[in-house]
Amino acid sequence: MSEERKDKIIQDGVSRRSVLGIGSAALAAAAFGELSAHAQTREGTRKAEGDHSSSNPGQENKPLLAENPHSNTPPPTDQGDVGPIWYSYDLTHKRIQEGGWTHQVTQRELPSSTEIAGVNMRLTAGSFRELHWHTADEWSIMLYGNARVTVLNPDGTILIDDVSKGDLWYFPAGFPHSIQGLGSLAEDRAAVGGQKVQSPIQYTFRMEAMAPTKRSTGGEIRIVDSHNFPVAKNIAAALDIIKPGGLRELHWHPNAPEWQFYMAGKGRMTVFMPVGSARTMDFNANDVGFVPFNAGHYVENTGDTDLVFLEMFKASEVLDFSLNQWIRRLPPEMVTSHLKLDNNAIHTIPAENLEILPR
């Protein structure tokens, strides 16, 4: 690749990922050298978008395309086959009954998501989710309203607790539990035996009320895993709030795939896979995202309000590697050899894992 071509790619690439940081832009420039052998090229895509090659004179679902512009007309850096990384609860069957409804996104909708499935449920005031248990652990967050949860321990003690918006609960596999409309918490606790049968284990957590794990001008992130919620041994989560134009920086997770639920705002995610494959999709509230194990990815707020979403992992803790931090931890000579950056450029890359970068 010529230096002129490489400089042009870096300049143009920053327009797509300007908030990634110079380290990410430079890495993208190096990667484009490998991608040039693929049928789809940056220049070819530009030419196609400049004439009628990318248009569709046939039928289109215009509302759907308007919500997913980067799937309909992918950026030229998208290559190969990544597999589905997007679905929406609003496209699934909604089971409606007196007292509420449920709909779910499972492996049927996202075939690669073999470890986590999601259910979105509404209970009307006074109704309840019948007594039950599962063969898998249950992790849930309250999106609005108030509810009362119960869970029984093998020793006969029981947790009865109230949850509201931003609170979560975790029920281990096989533990019988319920979710119900609210009455008097004190009366319910007294009716089952009071203090002597009260669970010594806390199965609920005030996620939204906790101080952010990390905060910057670009947003904030709250992490809840076995370190601060000990009962959650098999499911870890992060709640991301990204300001307009901000970015969950380019990173990957070494211990589990990532399952996402978008709660508010508009965003865009690109997932990078081996041998130059990449896929970009747009996300809106009530959408589900999926990132394969160890796949590099970023999430950008493309709207004018906060982007709020959950990262979920079938793991005991949230672990990630930051691309920027990796570059800064390497000897500068090694970075220069790989990415053709001078020492001044290298030192503009953030040295820490900032999680969320500003505009």
| pLDDT value of residue 169 | 97
Evaluate if residue 270 carries a pLDDT over 70: yes
Average pLDDT over residues 261-266: 98
Query: Active site includes 115?
Result: no
Evaluate if residue 15 carries a pLDDT over 90: no
Average pLDDT over residues 287-295: 98
- Alpha-carbon span 65 to 188, nearest angstrom: 50
Write down the pTM of the prediction.
Answer: 0.84
Domain boundaries, the chain: 1-38+324-359, 89-206
* Of the listed ranges 23-32, 206-215, 256-265, 299-308, the one predicted with least confidence: 23-32
pLDDT tens digits along 51-94: 777 777 888 888 888 888 888 888 888 888 899 999 999 999 99
Q: In a 10 Å sphere around its CB, with 0-12 CB exposed, 13-18 middle and 19+ buried, how is residue 192 labelled?
A: middle
DSSP string covering 211-260, please? PPSEEETTEEEEEESTTTSTT-SS-EEEEEEE-TT-EEEEEE-SS--EEE
pLDDT tens digits along 300-357: 999 999 999 999 999 999 999 999 999 999 999 999 999 999 999 999 999 999 999 9
| pLDDT value of residue 7 | 43
Question: Which residues fall within 8 angstroms of residue 21, CB to CB, at 6 or more apart?
Answer: 249, 324, 348, 349, 350, 357
Instruction: Specify the CATH architecture of the domain 89-206.
Output: Sandwich (2.60)
Task: Identify which has the larger pLDDT, 28 or 110.
Answer: 110
User: In the chain, what are the helix, strand and coil shares in percent, each to the nearest 5?
Assistant: 25, 35, 40
Q: What is the mean pLDDT of the chain?
A: 86
Which residue of the set 98, 311, 317, 355 is catalytic? 311
Evaluate if residue 38 carries a pLDDT over 50: no
Evaluate if residue 22 carries a pLDDT over 70: no
